[in-house]
Amino acid sequence: MQVTVLGSSGRTGIHLVRLLCRHGHRVRAGVRSRGRGTEVVRLGAEPVVADLASDPAVLVDTFLGSDVVINVAGAADPDPAAVNMVDRDGAIAAVHAAERAGVARYLQLSAQFADSPDQGDRLVRSILLAKQVSDDALRKSSLIWTIIRPGTLTDEHPTGRVKLSGHLEPGRVSRSDVAAVLVAALDEPLTENRGFDVISGDVPIPTALATAG
Ligand SMILES: NC(=O)c1ccc[n+]([C@@H]2O[C@H](COP(=O)([O-])OP(=O)(O)OC[C@H]3O[C@@H](n4cnc5c(N)ncnc54)[C@H](OP(=O)(O)O)[C@@H]3O)[C@@H](O)[C@H]2O)c1
């Protein structure tokens, strides 16, 4: 499959690009500037400039020919204005750009409790709210969507095992396991038009995706 990733230079993004390339997908790795593309080239991906804060028309061109778009970008700055620009408005613009480009499938990395964002401190709430709005836009789009809502992200080693369900207790999960969930979701039709919480657990990822309630 031709897969375009938004946020490829990020800590989850780089795991995702590596795994997608390993699974034989052709990967366009969206980076904010050419200078951030060196690592993805080494992994076998084609770097493309994709800035969620820039002209959405450019995103349409970037997505043309892609079967799948996966958005794992997130604002670098927790300030609500930056979060609204990237995690809400930029993410929504990317969904609409994917529709216009004829993309079939769209996966979005959200956050646990984005579907009930009335918790945490002011900054956490603003992130959850921004993600709730862009998740809603994706659900209402014409795209075949999957929304993954991870608990607190860690940089621990991958385990290949998670706990995954419609709603879960608060938890943590490694970025590498989250990337593996996103890649495995491409091969599991039961993840189409569904949203899941994911935290660390002991169920092999393909089984967790195939049996999630
Ligand atoms: N941290 C947590 O505990 C947690 C929990 C749940 C969900 N999440 C979400 O999971 C996602 C991945 O998190 P992470 O910690 O792996 O992220 P990260 O390392 O901070 O990487 C974020 C990525 O987004 C890119 N980005 C920032 N602004 C952008 C823009 N305007 N256009 C395009 N790309 C842009 C960054 O590009 P540059 O490299 O150029 O800055 C980077 O590649 C985020 O959406 C985050 O909100 C995080």
- How do the domains of the chain map onto residue ranges? 2-211
**Predicted pLDDT at 69:** 98
Atom of ligand 1 nearest to the CA of 71: 45
Average pLDDT of span 115-122: 85
Greater confidence (119 vs 68) lies with 68
Average pLDDT of span 36-50: 94
Confidence band, pLDDT 50/70/90 cuts, at residue 120: confident
Q: Is the pLDDT of residue 213 over 80?
A: no
* Nearest Cα residue to atom 46 of ligand 1: 74
Q: Is the CB of 39 under 6 A from ligand 1?
A: no
Q: What dihedral do alpha carbons 96, 100, 106, 110 form, nearest 10°?
A: -10
Q: How many angstroms separate the most distant Cα atoms in the chain?
A: 43
Q: Is the CB of 72 under 6 A from ligand 1?
A: yes
59 Rama sector, left if φ>0, alpha if ψ -120 to 50, beta otherwise:
alpha
* Nearest Cα residue to atom 17 of ligand 1: 10
Cβ partners under 8 Å of residue 77, min gap 6: 83
% of the chain with per-residue pLDDT over 70: 100
Edge-first strand order for the sheet with 2-6 is 46-49, 26-31, 2-6, 68-71, 105-109, 144-150, 194-200, 161-165, 203-204
Q: Is the CB of 7 under 6 A from ligand 1?
A: yes
Confidence band, pLDDT 50/70/90 cuts, at residue 162: very high
Average pLDDT of span 33-62: 94
Expressed in angstroms and rounded, the spacing between residue 168 Cα and the centre of ligand 1 is 22
Q: Which CATH number fits domain 2-211: 3.30.390.50, 1.25.60.10, 3.30.300.30, 3.40.50.720?
A: 3.40.50.720
Atom of ligand 1 nearest to the CA of 33: 40
**Predicted pLDDT at 118:** 85
Expressed in angstroms and rounded, the spacing between residue 12 Cα and the centre of ligand 1 is 8
**Predicted pLDDT at 119:** 80
Rounded distance between C-alpha atoms, residue 45 and residue 153, angstroms: 24
Which of 65-69, 94-98, 118-122 has the least mean pLDDT? 118-122
Which tens digits make up the pLDDT trace of 137-160?
999 999 999 999 999 999 999 999
Average pLDDT of the chain is 96
| Beta bridge partners of residue 195, listed in sequence order | 147
Amino acid 99 reads: E
Which tens digits make up the pLDDT trace of 166-190?
999 999 999 999 999 999 999 999 9
* Nearest Cα residue to atom 47 of ligand 1: 74
Ligand 1 pocket test, pick from 72, 79, 123, 173 with the greatest ligand atom count within 8 Å of Cβ, gives: 72
Which tens digits make up the pLDDT trace of 57-91?
999 999 999 999 999 999 999 999 999 999 999 99
Decide: 161 and 205 in contact? Cβ < 8 Å.
yes
